[in-house]
A and B are shown apart, each in its own frame.
Chain A
Amino acid sequence: MSVLRVEALDARHGLLKAVRGVSLRVSQGEILALVGANGAGKTTLLRAIAGAHKVWSGTIEFDGADVTNVPANKRTRAGIALVPEGRCLFSGMTVEENLLLAGRTGRKGPWNYKTVLEAFPMLSPIAQRKGGDLSGGQQQATAIGRALMTNPSLLLLDELSLGLSPVAVNAVYESLQTVIASGATIVLVEQDLSRVLRVSTRIACMLEGRIVLEGRTSDVTKEQITEAYFGLRRDAALEVGA
């Protein structure tokens, strides 16, 4: 059963169509990687799914219910959590406060303050430091932990490695393995193709607001993704082994 179903979704920035007629499905336990060049519409699509960006047309179904016009806070309470691009921590609040704040949704699940600190050991020693005083890697770990505190059934991760050092990226992905191992359903936006191919179960490549390549990661070659990524195959949307 699909946890998430997006049908013919359009989203705009002013007059600019950032997402054009995107349809996709994400099943339980799947890790879908969304790749594409800057401006391809990945972040807008993720934000539209989370309710942080207004949908122009189309529908979003989550757990079988139409959530297209449901406000972001209710979607989070229903089980959608977004780790936004740039982390967006509350800089005046400590790591602990950032995490506890997100735990207010009242959703039951495996994630609480203790289990998040176990999954992200780097957060324990900095729990009383303010969000604005953290390094990029620490901020990202806090942002993921904060999203997990809502006990989501769908986790949306936007540009995890953006602005992080390779060491920090490795540390974040290492901790993320615990989340992946727990069977979480994830939509991941990532620029690092090699890492995407290792982590995801399905991949979708966006170009100019459209999905131009979609398929199981095991069935897609890096060359196919690269061609779709740079728009070298613009004849038709390509579905591989889906």
Chain B
Amino acid sequence: MIDQIVQGVLLGGYYALVACGLSFMYGVMRIINLAHGSLAVLSAFLVWYVTEQLGVSPFVALLIVVPIMAAGGWILQRTVLDRSLRSGPLTPLLSTFGIAIIIDNLLFERFGADSRSLAPDIGDLSYKSWSLPGGVTVGQLGLLTLATAVVLIVGLQLFLKYAPLGRAIRATAEDRDTAELMGINSRAVYAAAAAIALGTVAIAGAFLGMRATFAPYAGAAQLIFAFEAVVIGGTGSLWGTLLGAIALGVVQNLGAQLNPQGFLIAGHLLFFCVLAIRFFAAGRFSGGWLKALRRQPA
């Protein structure tokens, strides 16, 4: 039981790593990036490609891939998302959904359907673990993933709190029009935020490749887990995302103990329970809400 919880926490670290970019983007721009999972898979492929071509470790490859993804985030924001945002909340959803399809199919076109993994490139880190008393084992890669997620989230929080650009991002997230009146170029701030978000996606993609296999159409599963972690933890909150991701990982692992299918079902159940509690807390299921529904024209 304790071992399952520990494994769940470590798995949660991976989910947090994937989810923090999604949470950051939603927190700043109110964009639910449906291409997030596909971008993580794209990053995994980029890391794999650089590793194969240059014969370097995936960690070294990240030094190349993170700036590439960040630049991609900047361009994506300036060319697609910024325009989408001006057309209402639904358009960014459709745009990012379209981008996900394009990425998935381009990856399939370029790399085929074969699964790949970065595990062979990190030596024994992929399977080495420490045995603790009580039958608890802690995988080194899992711990590194969790530590990376915590460092990334703490780093982002410190950046938002103390860096001038971080303050500008917070201000723009809270009130774009007033931020403009303070001399802040909100478009540039949004582009910077997208660059940061995709930089974190690059790191998440590398860890995806190191801990498991990946294929061109693997993005959807990554998106679902990241999305659930963000919603469970409270949308837009980085600390909440970490806690939500850990809760998701723990519940999934405990669910898997009960039933082989329990891994996914338990995670989804937690997600729906949190959603339901939020709806009740917000009074959405109150009499007023139901009456409002009945008043809708047929």
Binding site for B on A (CB under 8 A): 50-52, 71-74, 76-77, 81-82, 84, 88, 90-93, 97, 100-102, 104-105, 146, 150
Residues of A within 8 A of B185 (CB): 71, 73-74
B167–A100 CB distance below 8 A: yes
Chain B: which residue is nearest A100 at the CB level?
A: B167
Partner of A92, one of B174, B180, B183: B174
Q: How far is the CB of A163 from chain B (nearest CB, A)?
A: 17
Whole-angstrom distance from the CB of A116 to the nearest CB of chain B? 14
Roughly how many angstroms separate A71 CA and B179 CA in the complex, as a whole number?
A: 12
Contact (A84, B178) CB under 8 Å given A101-B167, A104-B164, A104-B168: yes
Interface residue? B186 (CB, 8 A): yes
CB proximity of B29 to chain A, nearest CB, Å: 16
Q: Are B178 and A90 in contact (CB under 8 A)?
A: yes
List the A side residues contacting B181 at CB < 8 Å. 50-52, 72-73, 76, 81-82, 84, 88
Q: Does B194 sit within 8 A of A, measured CB to CB?
A: no
Task: Check A88 against B178 for contact (C-beta < 8 Å).
Answer: yes
Q: Give residues 135-189 of B contacting A (CB, 8 Å).
A: 164, 167-168, 170-171, 174-175, 177-186
Is A76's CB under 8 angstroms from B182's CB? yes
Q: Which 8 A-B pairs have the closest CB atoms?
A: A105-B183, A76-B183, A72-B180, A88-B178, A102-B182, A73-B180, A73-B185, A77-B183
- Point out the residues of chain B lying under 8 angstroms from A76, CB to CB: 180-183
Residues from chain B with a CB closer than 8 A to the CB of A100 are: 164, 167
- Asked if residues B170 and A93 are in contact (CB atoms below 8 Å), the reply is yes
In contact, B182 and A150 (Cβ under 8 angstroms)? yes
Q: Is the CB of B170 within 8 A of A90?
A: yes
Chain B residues near A (Cβ < 8 Å): 164, 167-168, 170-171, 174-175, 177-186
Docked pose: A91 CA to B171 CA in angstroms:
9
CB distance from B106 to the nearest CB of A (A): 35
* Contact with A101, one of B177, B180, B182, B186 (Cβ below 8 angstroms): B182
Point out the residues of chain B lying under 8 angstroms from A77, CB to CB.
183
Query: Are B180 and A104 interface neighbours, CB within 8 A?
Result: no
Q: How far is the CA of A12 from the CA of B161 in the complex (A)?
A: 38
B180 and A93 contact, CB distance less than 8 A? no
What is the CA–CA distance of A76 and B171 in the complex, to the nearest angstrom? Answer: 16
Q: Whole-angstrom distance between the alpha carbons of A146 and B170 in the complex?
A: 16
Q: Are B177 and A52 in contact (CB under 8 A)?
A: yes
Given contacts A51-B181, A73-B182, 11 further A-B contacts (CB under 8 A): A50-B181, A52-B180, A71-B180, A72-B177, A73-B181, A73-B185, A88-B178, A92-B170, A97-B167, A101-B171, A104-B182
Quote the shortest CB–CB distance from B180 to chain A (angstroms). 4
Quote the shortest CB–CB distance from A111 to chain B (angstroms). Answer: 13
